Structure 1
Amino acid sequence: MSVRILALVGSLRAGSHNRQLAEAAVKHAPEGVEVELFEGLAEVPFYNEDIDVEGSLPQAAAALRAAAGKADALLLFTPEYNGTIPAVLKNGIDWLSRPYGAGALSGKPVGVVGTAFGQYGGVWAQDEARKAVGVAGAVVVEEAKLAIPGSMTRFAETHPADDAEVVEGLTKALALVAQTVSAAA
């Protein structure tokens, strides 16, 4: 049986290095692991309890919840915006945290990785994302870490899928998330 990991990318930019990192995860997933890149995070409206109503849930939010519900685990790819996670990723976490105590993240393993322009590769944003998903009820896979600094220069001419060091770190993070799923089964 294959472990299904849903990838959420916190950058909407067309040339996003975090999106490219997620594409590398899809391409280089270890044997027995399938990574699905979620499309449509930009269409999910800001979380508002008034519109989170059964029977009239916004379609994009319902699609996000359904995709996360079908996944065995999630891997978040986050850049760092002003020292924290982008609003689009936080919004996705908020939608997945509801209904309180029974959201799509509840009890589900989640890893966080990413790349950023700064010298630390977005570790503040990754820490904030881990905190948010943990509060939302996920099982945070603390060991599944990958922070790649200097994204603008490192990936200026090389796709992350073609960077052996990146692929090794990404494969390790995916394997750790998959192991957490298997251990819980």
Structure 2
Amino acid sequence: MAGSERTKMAAGEWYSCLDDELEALRALARDAVFEHNCLPPRQRGNLGTGLKALLGGVGEGVRIEAPFHCAYGLNIVLGDGVFLNAGCTILDTASVRIGKGTLLGPNVQIYCAEHHRQAAGRQAGLEIARPVEIGAHAWIGGSAIILGGVSIGEGAIVGAGAVVTRDVPANETVVGNPARTTG
């Protein structure tokens, strides 16, 4: 498909991240993240104003502890009462939707981008973006890694340090690398 790299990224097609428009969007995100991470906690509150304006959607009572990092921010939608503990990273080249009341432990990482398998493709900055969906009232343990293209169901638990490479059904608990059900 012809079009801008941003259009290709949004469509889930291979795109080059070495693109001026995408770099400008990442620069906006870096500025908002910097403000959020550097404000004194009492001044910042639950969420820095620049980061709140950047995100694609923010429900009531969302709290993001510093430090936090995201790639674009505009692809992240957080439901009411979502809590992201310190050190969370969301590389949101695709949609990341986190349902209400979901808790992310410290250093949780969500990676939507998948780099090209060929060295020449990686050198050209080729990526493909895969969305992540986390249902309401899920609990993602500290240092868990969630790869693009994964859905985690409502009420699910992802154990600390787990690497989630495939969908997790509602109310299931997964642990390990790769993450597997406990029962």
TM-score (norm 2): 0.29
**Higher relative contact order, structure no. (Cα contacts within 8 Å, ≥ 6 residues apart):** 1
Q: Highest CA radius of gyration, 1 or 2? A: 2
